[in-house]
Amino acid sequence: MDADISENLKRIRYDIGEAMAKYRNPDDSLRIMAVTKTVPYQRVNLAIDDGITLLGENRVQEYLEKKDFYKKDAEVHFIGHLQSNKVKYIIDSVSLIHSVDSLKLASEIDRLAAKNGICRNILIEVNIGGEESKSGVPENEVRELISGISDMKNIRIKGLMTIPPAGQSEKYFERMQRLFCDIRSEKYENADMEILSMGMSSDYVSAVKYGSNIVRIGSAIFGSRK
């Protein structure tokens, strides 16, 4: 029953390899994140056995229940919507938070990181399609948020993350790539524009085309969620 994960990863790696060869520079790198929501830890560990080195967590409670059972060889990032009052549960065990979309959330991460004596890396989540139903900061407020974070000592901005409107990935990935490059060239204090996190099961090839360097894949690895 578990040969599926291995087969799925093989196909995904093949697709990504092809897209990298076609669209990207030879020395570009890209990481495949396995998104674990609703997936039992045993199956997550099979993906780790198959060479996955990065996990993406959406839900604080679910993560806390599973984290001690994950094989230790994988790094964990938090990618879900995060309430400020839950930061304390994950701050010490996830190495990058992809979903920062407010000054309030950033301040809480900064405060707790300081308390723990660490500096936490974050991405700014951009609501690139301006959809009411999605979290993320609107495109025209991204710079204001980055500026607001620039004097926080225990946070470092590493890039941008997005989930585009359904069925229109290509157009919005292109727009994200442009935003990412523009912001990088503007050289904000406290922001290293290194990571562009975009692409999921249905659109990762297109994300590779537009410069993604972390694709977040759930159902194409583990099967559809119930």
Ligand X SMILES: *Cc1c(COP(=O)(O)O)cnc(C)c1O
- By CB under 6 A, name the binding residues for ligand X: 35, 37, 58, 79-80, 163, 200-202, 216-220
Nearer to ligand X, 37 or 88 (CB): 37
The alpha carbons of the chain give a radius of gyration, in whole angstroms, of 17
In the complex, what is the shortest distance from the CB of residue 197 to ligand X, in angstroms, rounded to a whole number? Answer: 8
CB of 225 to ligand X, least distance (A): 7
Complete DSSP assignment for 50-98: TT--EEEE--HHHHHHHGGGS-TTSEEEE-S---GGGHHHHTTT-SEEE
Please identify, using beta-carbon distances, which residue of 16 and 152 lies nearer to ligand X: 16
Supply the minimum distance, in Å, between the C-beta of residue 185 and ligand X. 27
User: Looking at this protein, which amino acid is placed at residue 89?
Assistant: Y
Of 101 and 108, which CB lies nearer to ligand X in the complex structure? 101
Q: C-beta of 123: minimal distance to ligand X in Å? A: 11
- CB of 122 within 8 A of CB of 96? yes
Q: What is the 3-state secondary structure (H, E, C) of 157-222?
A: EEEEEECCCCCCHHHHHHHHHHHHHHHHHHCCCCEEEEEEECCCCCCHHHHHHCCCCEEEECHHHH
| Residue 198 CB, nearest approach to ligand X (Å) | 9
**Residue placing its CB nearer to ligand X in the complex, 110 or 203:** 203
- At position 171, the amino acid (one-letter code) is K
DSSP states of 103-147 as a string? HHHHHHHHHHHHHTT--EEEEEEEETT--TTS-SEEGGGHHHHHH
Nearer to ligand X, 39 or 152 (CB): 39
Residue 158 CB, shortest distance to ligand X, in Å, is 16
CB 79 within 8 A of CB 98: yes
Give me the residue whose beta carbon is nearest to ligand X: 218
What the block records as the tokens of 128 is 């690139």
